[in-house]
Homo-oligomer: A and B are copies of this chain.
């Protein structure tokens, strides 16, 4: 069942590296809508991600109801205020409060990604001892969608300053689904190769050598 493997050239490898360097977590969105075909393409590409046992446990929920979007934004604002209180150091607290951490009110598209913890597909292969592999499969789909979006000039922001149980209840999904991500999707208002958290002095890239080990 093997086939001649598809090859990729050095120019593609170089452009892929550029793509990785230009993938950003976006919180500032332009008002321009995302075309329906682009949304369909992004979701189809995300579904090409690896999944444990080929379980395809991702469940994508597009938020189309304005009142629901506002409720989500208000919840994240509340959680953000709570998180700010966790910074005892005044300078760090002030830096935190100065950050814009979500574009839930401006992004043209809001997408919630859930994991079906009891996915039938895959027949539970590979999850006997690591059930989190189902959730990890959903994360691989999100990173895939993120890169596919950036190729099209579309930005994505991953919002995690929220109570997953509250958001799950708001979105009225089956109880066996767990929330992986709340995503803002749209055209970036301030494109940059430099992460916003680095621009604002929160956290820069650190040397990879500190993260490599041998045994």
A54:B162 contact, CB within 8 angstroms: no
Measured CB to CB, the closest approach of chain B to A199, in angstroms, equals 5
Select which of B50, B127, B136, B153 is within 8 A of A146 by beta carbon.
B50
- Complex formed: what's the CA distance from A134 to B134 in Å? 16
Contact across chains for A3 and B192 when beta carbons are under 8 A apart = yes
- Residues from chain B with a CB closer than 8 A to the CB of A208 are 43-44, 47
Q: Would you call A36 an interface residue if the criterion is a C-beta within 8 Å of the partner chain's C-beta atoms?
A: no
| Chain copies in the assembled complex | 2
Given the complex of chains A and B, what is the CA–CA distance between A136 and B56 in angstroms? 17
Given contacts A50-B23, A192-B2, A206-B121, contact A64 B214 (CB under 8 A): yes
Enumerate chain B residues within 8 angstroms of A15, measured Cβ to Cβ. 8, 12
Q: Nearest Cβ in chain B — how far from A186, in angstroms?
A: 13
Q: Are A147 and B16 in contact (CB under 8 A)?
A: yes
A204 CB-CB contact with B under 8 Å:
yes
Q: Given contacts A12-B151, A123-B203, A192-B2, are A45 and B17 in contact (CB under 8 A)?
A: yes
Residues in A174-195 with C-beta less than 8 Å from chain B: 180-181, 188-195
Q: Which chain B residues lie closer than 8 Å to A139 at the CB level?
A: 136, 139-140, 143
Tell me which residues across on chain B come within 8 A of A133, comparing CB atoms.
160
- Given known pairs A6-B18, A191-B2, the reply for A56 and B124 (CB within 8 Å) is no
Q: Does A98 contact B (CB under 8 A)?
A: no
User: Contact at A124–B86, with CB atoms within 8 Å?
Assistant: yes
**Chain A, 140-178, contact with B by CB distance < 8 Å: what is the 0/1 string?**
101110111011110000101111100000011100000
Name the B residues within 8 Å of A63 (CB-CB).
214-215
Give Cα A202 to B152, complex, Å. 34
Is A54 in contact with B204, judged by CB distance below 8 angstroms? yes
Using CB atoms and an 8 Å cutoff, list the residues of chain A in contact with chain B. Answer: 1-8, 12-13, 15-23, 25, 43-45, 47-50, 52-56, 58-65, 68, 79, 82-83, 86-87, 92, 96, 99, 101, 112, 121-130, 132-133, 135-136, 139-140, 142-144, 146-148, 150-153, 158, 160-164, 171-173, 180-181, 188-195, 197-199, 202-206, 208, 211-215
